[in-house]
Amino acid sequence: MRRSRGAVALEFLILFPMVVAMLYGATAYGILFFGKYEMQGVVDVAASSALRLDRAHFSSDGLSDQIVNTANATLQRVWDSQDERLTAGTESIQCGVVETVDISYLSCAVSRNNLEAPMVPQLTFGFLGKFPPMPETMRAEATMAF
C-alpha cells in the first residue's frame, strides 16, 4: 500500500498535457472547419446570385459579362460583411467565366493565407514542431453552369 503512494499524481502529471493537447486540437480544428464552412457559404451565395439575374434584359453577348459582374459584386459585399477573423489574410476573391466546348461556367473562389493570418494560433513545442498542424492556405470554390 505504501509503495503506490503518489502514483495517481504521477499518472496525472504524465497524462494531463496529452489531454489538454487533444482538447486544444479538437477545438482548433472545429474553428478551422467552421471557417471553411463560412467561406463555402460566401461563394455559394455569390454563384447563386447569378441565377436571380433577369436574362431577358441582356443580349446573349452581354449576358456573360453581366453574370460575372453580378457575382463579383455579391461576392465582395458578402465577403466584406464577414468577421475579421475570416477575412484576414485574404489572397484572392473573384468570380470568372470558365469556357468549355459546349458549356460556360461561372466559377467563384475565395482563398486566404492561413500562415500570414492564422484562424487559430499554433503552439510550438521545440523538437515536436507546431501543434496542431494547419493548412497553409484555405480555399472555397463554387461553380455553376449558365
Strand partners, 110: 93, 140
Q: How confident is the model at residue 95 (pLDDT cuts 50, 70, 90)?
A: very high
Q: Indicate the pTM of the whole model.
A: 0.82
Strands in 90-99's sheet, in edge-to-edge order, are: 90-99, 104-113, 137-145
Residue 40, classified by CB atoms within 10 Å of its CB into exposed (0-12), middle (13-18) or buried (19+), is middle
Nearest residue to 92 via CA among 44, 49, 47, 138: 138
Q: Is the pLDDT of residue 110 over 80?
A: yes
CB atoms within 10 A of CB 95: 26
pLDDT of residue 26: 94
Q: Is the pLDDT of residue 1 over 60?
A: no
Torsion angle of the four alpha carbons 27, 44, 109, 58, in this order, in degrees rounded to the nearest 10? -170
